[in-house]
Amino acid sequence: MSTEKSKMSETPGQQLAEAYLRDLERALSGTDPREREETLAEIEDQLRDAEAVDPQGAEVRRVIDRLGSVEAIAAVASPDEHGTGTPAAVPGRQKDWFVIGTTILSGVALVTTFLFFPVAAVIALVTFVLGIVQLFTSRMGKVLPVLSIVFSAIVLVLVALAIIGLLAWQETDSSYEIIEDDAGEVEEGP
Amino acid sequence: MDEFSGVLVQLRKGALQYCVLACLRPGASYGRQLAQQLSEEHGLLESQGTLYPLLSRLRKQGWVSTAWQESASGPPRRYYELTELGHRALEAFEQDWTPFRDDVDAVLNATR
């Protein structure tokens, strides 16, 4: 059975149909999930019928020409935010505010660096991780997640420099004490 | 010319869903049949694929219902049927559409 399926997937008709369905699925991302699912199912049925008629792909090509571009189909689909028609079902909008909040928080971390850097470091660490996650998941584009990452990275670098500076200062301070002690022993010796 | 090409798109956008309902008035039909009817017989659909998101919305609104039916020439098909609510929506549109169309025609004719 699986051999038969893999043989079928090698026909030009199957390849054309799968490429179109892939493009359509991509074009419909961000649209109402139910509309997307039903549209894909209807179009997949048509393409499978066409494959059965002509595995070489001529019929699939004709069906695709009739269906039109995936962009044209996506253009008439409802956006995800308003698709379900219930106020509770707006996860996309909630995520947007989450992205904005993360960017603001990373800005706060940047300002806090100069006041109390341990707090800034913790905030920056969190916003850095969130920024990376949002870079791949945000529906608002990549500008805000990139800003969050940049702000957080600046804070983390500044904090790292501050820690290195502190350690260096402590080391210098303790070596002065050793020199002072040594000097004291020399004076008291004879 | 390009700046005026969107007029027909906008007019179709508002009226197409009622044309789909009208196509379903004589009886249930499946997606491809509806798409062919609207595009080939009436020239109302440029891309047949654009019908499917619309059908999904009509179903969500409760204006059409769907049912799988065996086909004599292939796999089972999803048939769309006008609901009572869909009938009422179509009637309401018809009541508004005719005077609206007449008013637009009257304005266009009077100012020629």
Q: Do the chains contact at A66 and B35, CB–CB below 8 Å?
A: yes
* Cβ distance of A68 and B50 shorter than 8 Å: yes
Residue A70 lies in a domain: yes
> What's the pLDDT score for residue A184?
55
Q: Which of B13, B47, B56 sits opposite A38 (nearest CB)?
A: B56
> Is A3 a member of any domain?
no
Q: Which of B80, B79, B96 is nearest to B88 (CA)?
A: B96
List residues of chain A with CB under 8 Å from any CB of chain B. 24, 31-32, 34-35, 38-39, 41-43, 45-46, 48-49, 52, 66-70, 72-73, 75-78, 85
pLDDT of residue A18: 94
**Do A125 and A51 share a structural domain?**
no
CB-CB under 8 Å, B48 with A76: no
Question: Is residue A65 in a domain?
Answer: yes
Query: In the 3-class helix/strand/coil scheme, how is A64-113 assigned residue by residue?
Result: HHHHCCHHHHHHHCCEHHHHCCCCCCCHHHHHHHHHHHHHHHHHHHHHHC
What percentage of residues in chain A have a pLDDT greater than 70? 75
Are A79 and A118 in a shared domain? no
The count of structural domains within chain A is 2
Query: Could you tell me if residue A4 is inside a domain?
Result: no
Give B-chain residues touching A85 at CB under 8 angstroms.
Answer: 60
Residue A60 lies in a domain: yes
Residue A136 lies in a domain: yes
Q: Which pLDDT value is given to residue B38? A: 95
- Same domain for A146 and A70: no
Q: Which of A37, A59, A83 marks a domain boundary?
A: A83
Least confident of A119-123, A138-142, A184-188, B11-15: A184-188
Q: Report whether pLDDT(A58) > 80.
A: yes
Structural domain boundaries, residue A30: 10-83
B81 or A176, which is more confident?
B81
The tens digit of pLDDT for each residue in B19-53 reads: 999 999 999 999 999 999 999 888 898 899 999 99
Say what the pLDDT of residue A182 is. Answer: 61
pLDDT band, residue A131 (cuts 50/70/90):
confident
In chain A, what residues touch B50 (CB-CB under 8 Å)? 68, 72-73, 75-76
Of A19, A53, A83, which marks where a domain is finished? Answer: A83
More confident residue, A7 or B56: B56
Is A5 a member of any domain? Answer: no
Say which range, A54-63, A76-85, A126-135, B103-112, has the weakest mean pLDDT.
A76-85
Interface check for B25 against chain A (CB to CB < 8 A): the answer is: no
Domain identity same for A112 and A67: no
**What pLDDT is attached to residue A189?**
45
CA distance A35 to chain B (A): 5
Mean pLDDT across the stretch B99-107?
95
Query: Does B71 touch chain A if contact means CB atoms closer than 8 Å?
Result: no
Same domain membership, residue A96 and residue A39 = no
Indicate if A58 and A124 belong to the same structural domain.
no
Point out the domain boundary residue: A47, A67, A83: A83
pLDDT at A46: 92
User: Which amino acid is located at A114 in the chain?
Assistant: F
- A29-38, A60-69, A173-182, B2-11: segment of lowest average pLDDT: A173-182
CA of A24 vs chain B CAs: smallest distance (Å): 10
A18/A53 same-domain check:
yes
Condensed to tens digits (0 to 9), the pLDDT of residues A86-108 reads: 333 333 444 567 778 888 888 88
The reply to whether A2 falls in a domain is no
Are A63 and A142 within one domain? no
CB pair distance less than 8 Å for A42 and B77: no
- CB contact under 8 Å between B53 and A68, yes or no, is no
List own/partner pairs for B79-88 with CB under 8 A and 24 or more apart.
B79/B28, B79/B29, B79/B30, B80/B24, B80/B28, B80/B29, B80/B30, B80/B31, B80/B34, B80/B55, B81/B24, B81/B27, B81/B28, B82/B21, B82/B24, B82/B25, B85/B61, B86/B21, B86/B24, B86/B58, B86/B62, B87/B25
Is the pLDDT score of A117 beyond 90?
Answer: no
A67 shares its domain with A105: no
Give contacts of B47 with chain A, Cβ < 8 Å: 66-69, 72-73
Same domain, A139 and A77: no
Q: Indicate yes or no: CB of B32 within 8 angstroms of CB of A43.
A: no
B32 interaction partners in chain A (CB closer than 8 Å): 46
pLDDT mean over A44-56: 90
* Residue ranges of domains in chain B, CATH in brackets: 21-110 (1.10.10.10)
Same-domain status, A107 and A58 = no
A180 pLDDT band (50/70/90 cuts)? low
Q: What is the pLDDT of residues B66-92, one digit of tens each?
A: 999 987 777 788 999 999 999 999 999
